[in-house]
Structure formats: structure tokens, C-alpha cells
Amino acid sequence: MGVLLALLGAASFAVMNVAVRKGVRPGDRDNGVLTTVVINVVIFSLLIAAMGLAGGLPALPSAGIAAFIGAGLASTFIGRTTLFAGIRRAGAVRAAAVKNATPVVTLMIALTLLGERLTPLAGVGIALIMLGVALVVRESMDRSGREDLSTDRASPARMGLESEVLADGAPPESLEPDYGDRGPAPSGASRAMLVGLGLSGLAAVSFGAGHALRKVGMDFLPDAAIGAAVGSWSALAAYALGAAVQGRLRSIPTSVTAWRPYFWLAGIAGGVGQISFFAALNFAPVAHVSVVAASETILTVAFAGLVAHRAEQITRELILPATLVVAGVAAIALAR
């Protein structure tokens, strides 16, 4: 049961990643963060209400609530905002692969603040994840660089220049710009990909900090449903505060009620993923749950290939680093 619930959680987060990718529109400022957070607030609040009606709620220590608030701000608000922005620019598969470096951040926090020790297997896991992320970045930048070159060659000005030069008998190679030792400057798709990968890396840091805070909160208040509800409400409050500062508070109801089916699906899938992950901990060791949950990256590759193949270009060079990231996460989880 624990393995099945963990697999359901991984599949749900993979669906969320792909749904966000499918839901964004060209020129649309809405990444789906608000919609998914509101849906999570509704789901977890209803769950808390049902728990209260069934047998009452446990005591709510202030230290545990404070930790859950911090976890919500770090993961549900900052982490989700940066991840969704990264998905928009780099794609669901590449963003998910970079974001899956989260356990490295959590482990670093545990080593420095919680007094844990680095085992050899955990060190191997960190190396595998870093290698996988580096390969993802290299593949992504190579692909976007080819897109930039293809766009440049297809531009009307360049096509006219090429026709003129070829008419004079010059070889096509003479059209290539000379960058010297610096290499071509990133432009167009390359800049978008670089920003997307950077945002996904920031998401990994935010989620890692959120997981560490959630661990602290669970020590004071071992109730995952309350922790998830407090975190979701905190993220919603932070979003509303930011919108108020920017003068966009009145746009929140419109954004939430707008018919954006992919964003709604992402919110439901994200809520199911959180519930499934925490429920799995009641049936299986956390190491086993973490290993199965790490399959989110591979499942994102599979789902994107099935339903988002026009928006996602999955290359053979991307399969190896995605697998390395999963293996690294598995090594860290088993080492702990």
C-alpha cells in the first residue's frame, strides 16, 4: 500500500507538471500558481473539517504551526512560483529534472542545521544528481542553440543575404558569424531556456528548504493534513499580499474563476500528490517512499511524450540525465 500510494503521488506531481505546461498560453502572465494554490486550500480545508467532525483536532503547538507556515511559503508559494515559471520557459521535463535536485538541498540543510552525517551512499547520490542536472543543462542549451540558429537562418534578411552571396559563388559556410573564442551569445530560445533552468534550480532550493521545515513541523505536530493546510493558506496569503502591493488584488477572483481546465487539473493533481505522499509514510519507510516518489521525473517524461509532444521535445540525450537524477535521489533516500 505504501509503495502504491507513493507511486500515485509521483504520478500526480508528473500530471501537475505536464498540465501546467499545457495550460500556459503565449503572452499569458498567469502561470497557474494562484489557481493551484486555491484548489489546494479548498481540498485541505475540507479534509481538516472532516477530521474535526470525525474525532476532533490535535493540539496546535505554535512552533509546529510556525514551521508549517515557513514550509508553505518556501515550497507552495516560492517553490511552485519558480517551478511553474521554469516549466513555462524550459518545459515540464527539463524543469522537473532540475527541480528533482531538491533532496540535495534538504540533505545539506540536515547536515548543517539538524546535525545529520553524510554517508558514502548519500555522497554518491549527490554526485549522480549533480551529473544528471549538468547533462540536462547541456542538452537543453544545445537544443535551444540549434533553435536560435535555425530561426536566424530562416529570417527574411538572412535568406536574402544568403541568396545574394550564393549567386556570387561564395560557399554557404562564409555566412556563419565569427565569434572568436567567446562562442555564440545566447539569444531567443537560449535565453528563455537558461532562465527556465535557473528558475527550476531556484525551485529545487525552495522545495528543499520547505521539506526541511516540514520535517521540523512534523516533530512538533505530526499531522500531515494540518501541515499541508497551514502551508497552503500561508501561500495564498503571501500571493494576496503580493497582488495587493502590485495593485492586482481585484484580479484574483477573475483568475480563480476563469475556465482554465489544465490549471484546475494541475491543482487537483498537486493536492492528490501531497496527500498520497504523506499517507504513504503511514504504510512504508520514508526511504522507500522517497525512492518511489523520485520517479516523478521519469513519469513526467512519459506523460509529456504522450500528451504534450508538440510543446515538449524529448530527446534521447535527455533520458540518461533524467535516470541519473532518479538514481541519485534513490541513493540519498536509502542512505538515510
Neighbours of 41 (CB within 10 A): 22
Q: Is pLDDT larger for residue 160 or for residue 203?
A: 203
Q: CA dist 317 to 39, 150, 188, 215, 314, Å?
A: 36, 20, 22, 35, 8
Q: Is 300 exposed, middle or buried (0-12, 13-18, 19+ CB in 10 A)?
A: buried
pLDDT tens digits for 272-281? 888 887 777 6
Q: What is the mean pLDDT of residues 3-19?
A: 85
Q: Is 141 exposed, middle or buried (0-12, 13-18, 19+ CB in 10 A)?
A: middle
* Residue 162, H or E segment: helix 156-167
DSSP sequence for 277-301: HHHHTTTS-HHHHHHHHTTHHHHHH
pLDDT tens digits for 174-205? 333 343 444 444 455 678 888 888 999 999 89
pLDDT tens digits for 103-128? 777 778 777 776 667 788 878 888 88
* pTM of the complete model: 0.74
pLDDT band (50, 70, 90) for residue 269: very high
Please state at what angle helix 120-154 crosses helix 316-335, rounded to 10 degrees: 160
Residue ranges covered by each domain of the chain: 2-156+189-335
Q: Is pLDDT larger for residue 111 or for residue 225?
A: 225
* pLDDT higher than 50, residue 304: yes
Q: What is the mean pLDDT of residues 62-89?
A: 91
For position 178, what pLDDT does the model report? 41
Alpha-carbon span 49 to 56, nearest angstrom: 9
pLDDT tens digits for 33-65? 889 999 999 999 998 888 888 877 788 899 989
Cα-Cα-Cα-Cα torsion 26, 28, 31, 36, nearest 10 degrees, comes to -120
